[in-house]
Amino acid sequence: MNLYRPIVVGLSGQALSASEVSWLHELRPYGVILFSRNIENQTQLKALCASIREILGKDVMIIIDQEGGRVQRLKNPNWPALPSALDIGKYWRRHQFAGLEAANSLGQVIGSQLAEVGITHAAAPVLDLHIIGADPVIGDRSFGTTPAEVIPLATAFIDGLSRCSVGAIVKHIPGMGRVQSDSHDELPVIPTSINELSQSDWIPFQVISGTRWAMTAHVVIPEWDTLPITTSTKAMQHIRETFGDWLIISDCLTMGAITGTITERVQNTLNAGVDLALFSNGSDEERRTAVESSGKPRISRDNSIPLSPLSNSDIQRLLMKLNRVARIHDEIDPTWDQSSYEG
């Protein structure tokens, strides 16, 4: 059985550097995550994914943030602009069946985009609630303000991804819709009582099916611990008890919410009980250090399923359905720092 280090790591550019080829082969991380800096067009991206597979194996996990709306790594002019989750949520409120169909169509389009180039997992959908008055880091990335809106639409989206054999990584467990600051910059604290959270924010993470993967929220829940959930043993024990048997990957450990040296960030995350650390950014040396800090290769991968992109005619049919959603203007226009998501 092949074993890998429990970490997913970012890459520097649109092709693997000689140094990356060397240490990826030597250190054997579980997977990689791609950002805008790694993407030019379909041909280049497909070649990059093929080179990753050649080094790390056919079953390697390759992740990208592709939610629709403002969080799209695959974007114009080579990929179409897609509606946000909240756009679909608003459409669903007016036309429930058509809204579910739109959420599923969004999942299928994104799934096909990823399958076509060889990406195995979308870091999507967001299961966080859209809380009015909170920091806009979630905002229109959420399907709605209540579990009753989020659950059916997220389920339809996940089903759409799965039709192309692309996996979903839901985020951000146990919910960060209430934050008053952006975890890219600092550590948010959610002072809301556990009793209230358990009756609202937590419900989508307790009932969603169709995937085993979830990404952590870099937040503090004071009733659990004063440390970020991602690096807190106490908080991760509560996560396991409350939400069941998820495979959990951290949000990026280079974000401002997490402090310490590279080694401390990675080891504290894994020691807390997170299954995979995620280290997205930094110099070649820093990313190699992060992988080394994750310890010896010790975890196996799931069996890979052949990716199945859709036909061009199917994609065009689905995009026509999504164009109906685009006609609904998003009334929420929060102040939002695009650079936080460009990567």
Q: What is the pLDDT along the chain (343 residues), one digit of tens a residue?
A: 799 999 999 999 999 999 999 999 999 999 999 999 999 999 999 999 999 999 999 999 999 999 999 999 999 999 999 999 999 999 999 999 999 999 999 999 999 999 999 999 999 999 999 999 999 999 999 999 999 999 999 999 999 999 999 999 999 999 999 999 999 999 999 999 999 999 999 999 999 999 999 999 999 999 999 999 999 999 999 999 999 999 999 999 999 999 999 999 999 999 999 999 999 999 999 999 999 999 999 999 988 889 999 999 999 999 999 998 877 644 444 433 433 444 4
- For residue 229, the number of C-alpha atoms closer than 13 Å in the C-beta half-sphere is 27
Q: Measure CA 238 to chain center.
A: 21
Residue 256 exposed, middle or buried by CB count within 10 Å (0-12, 13-18, 19+): middle
Q: What's the token pair of residue 78?
A: 């080579």
Determine what percent of the chain falls in helix, strand and coil, rounding each to the nearest 5.
Answer: 40, 15, 45
Distance CA 322, CA 140 (A): 16
DSSP-based three-state secondary structure for 128? coil
Would you give the end-to-end CA distance of the chain in angstroms? 34
Asked, as a colleague might, if the bond just before 125 is cis with ω within 30 of 0, I would say yes
Cα pseudo-dihedral 290, 215, 140, 340, rounded to 10: -10
Tokens representing 24 are: 């990826």
Burial of 77 (0-12, 13-18, 19+ CB in 10 A): exposed
Single pTM value for the model: 0.94
Which residue, chain included where needed, has tokens 């692309």? 166
Asked whether the beta carbons of 73 and 39 are under 8 A apart, the reply is yes
Q: Which strands make up the sheet holding 167-173, listed edge to edge?
A: 247-249, 213-216, 167-173, 121-122, 61-64, 29-34, 5-10, 277-279
Q: Provide the greatest CA pair distance for the chain.
A: 54
Given this model, what pLDDT does residue 1 score? 79
DSSP single-letter state for residue 76: T
Distance of alpha carbon 159 from alpha carbon 171, whole angstroms: 16
Q: Which two tokens stand for residue 72?
A: 């799209």
- By the 10 Å C-beta count (0-12 exposed, 13-18 middle, 19+ buried), 163 is classed as middle
**Active-site amino acid positions:** 184, 251
Give the pLDDT confidence score for residue 308 in this predicted structure. Answer: 97
d(CA 237, CA 221): 13
**What pLDDT sits at residue 303?**
82
Residue position matching structure tokens 């890979």:
304
- What CATH number has the domain spanning 5-280+290-328? 3.20.20.300
pLDDT recorded at residue 328: 63
Rounded to 5 degrees, what are φ and ψ at 68? Answer: 95, 170
Residue 343: its pLDDT value, please?
42
> How buried is residue 293: exposed, middle or buried, by Cβ count under 10 Å (0-12/13-18/19+)?
buried
